[in-house]
Amino acid sequence: MRNKGKATSFDIAYLAGVSQPTVSRALRGSPTVNEQTRQRILQIAHELNYKVDKNASNLRNQQSGTLALLFFEDPTLDDSLINPFFLSMLGSLTRACAVQGYDLLISFQQLSSNWHVEYEDSKKADGLILLGYGDYLEYVSRLELLVEQGTHFVRWGVVLPGQPGVSIGCDNLQGGRDMTRHLLEQGRRNIAFIGHASAHYPEFLERYKGYSQTLEGAGCSVRAELQIDAFTTERSGYDAVTELIERGIEFDALFCASDLIAIGAMRALADRGLRVPQDVAVAGFDDIPIASFTNPSLTTVQQDTKAAATLLVESLLALIREEPVQSHTIPARLAIRQSTMSS
């Protein structure tokens, strides 16, 4: 059924009785080709099941029609576990690329590795989408390098002034404010913040700032002992809340910097016999799919991955076209569920 080698434009040219460049023109829809000739060529191409060799056309055009998604995982994480939020993002990104006619190459990166250039320089991708990172302060120097090298890239993450490159992130500050206000409205007064609040984790820091500002605005003091470090795993959330309890600090609500932390937090509470939401209200951030299925279901902050993905891809394509591109913040929205509702 299939010939030895696959059909090339020369085969078609031969069968159509025209030159190979004419085949190329006809296939690419050049208006200069005679309509009859084009039809004949199209017909033959179809019969031969011909497909343009992308390696050849990319080589010639000096581009790839592909975007690379570089996925940075914290090496401390369990090998088999991927942050579910990133997984949602991946689904949205794939669709957004397809809409634009681009392929998406995906790659899991170790933070330590020398990832910055590979893809674009080797012409496997026209640009990079960066998702996730460990420590922002280390990461940002890599971004500077990328900018310096003229690599086309966009990243998902907090938007900060003076930041190298283009970032698309959600409004973490607003999300932090809204959630804190919600907890106050539920009558909670001793709200702990579970998550790192340092420049190393700027998304968390923004969420923390939203929390602090809202507390202050409501006349509540921001107490340092109510903030416990945690990074975004269940285990870390569990440990942080256990520590909070063991220190004997009183609290009636936990604002967790991520859903994964919140899930660990809920386990820790359950293990100590504390009820959610009666004894302690628990809120998360991200709205990962699991959040609707925890017991009780988890109040959280929704990030619109579909909008984010569209914006990421469109920004990257604009960058590739050498158009000016701005960083962007998309709104965050509360998803209120049972875990924070005082009945």
- Contacts with DNA by CB under 7 A lie at 5-6, 8-10, 17-22, 24-25, 27-28, 31-35, 37, 50, 52-53, 56-57, 59-62
Closer residue to a second copy (CB): 230 or 288: 288
Among a second copy, DNA, none, what binds residue 124 when CB lies within 5 to 8 Å by partner kind?
a second copy
- Residue identified by tokens 């060799």 is 53
Nearer to DNA, 56 or 270 (CB): 56
Residue found by looking up tokens 């299939």 in the block: 2
Residue 66 near a second copy by CB under 8 A = yes
Residue 239's closest CA among 259, 211, 258, 267?
267
- Closest to a second copy by CB, 206 vs 259, is 259
Task: Judge if the upstream peptide bond of residue 84 is cis by omega within 30 degrees of 0.
Answer: no
Q: Give 203-268 as a DSSP string.
A: HHHHHHHHHHHHHHHTT----GGGEE---SSHHHHHHHHHHHHHTT---SEEEESSHHHHHHHHHH
Contact call for residue 313 and a second copy (CB under 8 A)? no
Which of 15, 42, 77, 82 is close enough to bind a second copy by CB under 8 A?
82
Polymer length in residues for the chain: 343
Is 75 among the residues that bind a second copy (CB under 8 A)?
A: no
- Segment near a second copy (CB under 8 A); pick from 88-96, 174-182, 222-230, 273-281: 88-96
Choose the one of a second copy, DNA, none that binds residue 87, judging by a C-beta under 5 to 8 angstroms depending on kind. Answer: a second copy
Please give the Cα distance from 18 to 12 (Å, whole number).
8
Question: Which two tokens mark 294?
Answer: 């925890």
Min separation Cβ 152 and DNA, Å: 17
- List all residues 6 or more positions away from 108 whose beta carbon is below 8 Å from its beta carbon: 71, 73
Binder of residue 24, out of a second copy, DNA, none (CB less than 5 to 8 A by kind):
DNA
Integer Cα distance of 13 and 37 in angstroms: 11
Cα(298)–Cα(290) distance, rounded to whole angstroms?
A: 9
Among 149, 198, 278, 326, binds a second copy (CB under 8 A): 149
Residue 161 Cβ vs a second copy, minimum distance, rounded to whole Å: 24
Instruction: Return the structure tokens found at 171.
Output: 């409004």
- Partners of 330 in the β-ladder: 170
C-alpha distances out from residue 236 to 180, 228, 233, 268, 306, Å: 21, 10, 5, 11, 28
Taking CB under 8 A as the rule, does residue 235 contact a second copy?
A: no
Q: Would strands 66-73 and 103-110 be described as parallel, antiparallel, or unpaired?
A: parallel
Q: How far apart are the C-alpha atoms of 261 and 241, rounded to whole Å?
A: 9
Q: Give min distance, CB of 53 to DNA, in A.
A: 4
Check residue 319 for interaction with a second copy (CB under 8 A).
Answer: no
Least separation in angstroms between residue 275's CB and a second copy is 13
Is residue 32 close enough to count as binding a second copy by CB under 8 A? no
Residues 6+ apart with CB under 8 A from 329: 159, 168, 169, 170, 171
Distance (Å, whole) CA 26 – CA 34 = 8
Does 124 bind a second copy (CB under 8 A)? Our answer is: yes
Please, are residues 150 and 116 in contact by the beta-carbon 8 Å criterion?
no
Question: Count residues contacting a second copy (CB under 8 A)?
Answer: 50
Per-residue contact string for residues 272-311; x = within reach of a second copy by CB under 8 A:
-----------------xx--xxxx---------x-----
Secondary structure class of 286 (helix, strand, coil): strand
Residue 21 interacts, among DNA, a second copy, none and using kind-specific CB cut-offs from 5 to 8 Å, with DNA
Give the nearer residue to DNA in terms of CB position, either 18 or 265.
18
Residues binding a second copy (CB under 8 A): 1-2, 6, 49-56, 58-59, 64, 66, 71, 79-80, 82, 84, 87, 90-92, 94-95, 98, 103-108, 117-118, 121-124, 148-150, 263, 289-290, 293-296, 306
